[in-house]
Amino acid sequence: MFNNPIAPKGADPWVIFYGGYYYYCLSARGGVCVARVSDIRDLADAEPTLVWQPPENTMYSRELWAPELHFLDGAWYIYVAADDGRNENHRMYVLRGTSPTNPLEPFEFIGKITDSTDKWAIDGTVMKYADKLYFVWSGWEGDVNIIQHLYIAPMSNPYTISGERIKISSPELIWELNGGEPKINEGPAAIEYNGSMHIVYSASGSWCDDYCLGILTLKNGGDPLSAESWVKSDKPILSKRDAMFGPGHCSFTTSPDGSQTYMIYHANLVSGTGWGGRSVWAMEFSL
């Protein structure tokens, strides 16, 4: 189906299908961009449109990481991690589209999205479950870059966290601990598949060949805001193999007719090339 990689360069790919098009949200040109293609196999030829550029000299002017595009409550939103040039100041921010129909139109800055702790946060995503919204992200427990956990919190609307954060995953299994410190769980992506809610996430050092994808599954009838409701797989669902190293940070989309689910992720063709060697890959997803 796919001739991988589908794009020769790219990291943290966020791709969704909406209204007959695939939309690819990415950091580029000094800001956040959105590209549109009819066929996901043409992603390499997608022309990014700059939809938002941060002003200079703010706490969110630099290091724009892993933007995600979502259509929620009749509007387009982008969630992006940003800082002032110092990684310890990374927080999550929300942008809202000026057009309810076209995400290639400019986005406006809404503000920071955080729980009461206001700790380091990246890779924020929105999970919709039982008609409620939840924010899921990777963060620090304190203020030191030692370990990244996955947190979840309730949302009262697409730009507001309305409760305390709950830790639902920490790097603890052997396959989550490669690469040294900081120990990492990051890049959560929620998907409802075969009647169950899942969060696929990245584990181990993002700079190493052993970066991989794990999965959490919500117990039937479980409360998403209870850590005990999430069950972690005892092995990764995608890890390195011949000519594919460090697969991680995925998003989910579908075939145009909705009959197939695709997972879009980044990986390296060459061992040891780390952050600089990433390209965009795709595969049919099944559990």
Q: Which residues are catalytic?
A: 12, 186
Task: Tell me if 178 sits within 8 A of 205, measured CB to CB.
Answer: yes
What is the Cα–Cα distance from 186 to 191, expressed in whole angstroms? 16
Phi, psi of 276 (to 5 degrees): -80, -10
55 pairs with which residues across the strands?
A: none
The two three-digit tokens of residue 55, written as one number: 């002003």
The terminus-to-terminus CA distance of the chain in angstroms comes to 18
Q: What are residue 277's phi and psi, to 5 degrees?
A: -100, 10
Query: How many angstroms separate the CA atoms of 42 and 39, rounded?
Result: 6
134-146 burial by CB neighbour count: b if 16+ within 10 A, else e? bbbbbbbeeeeee
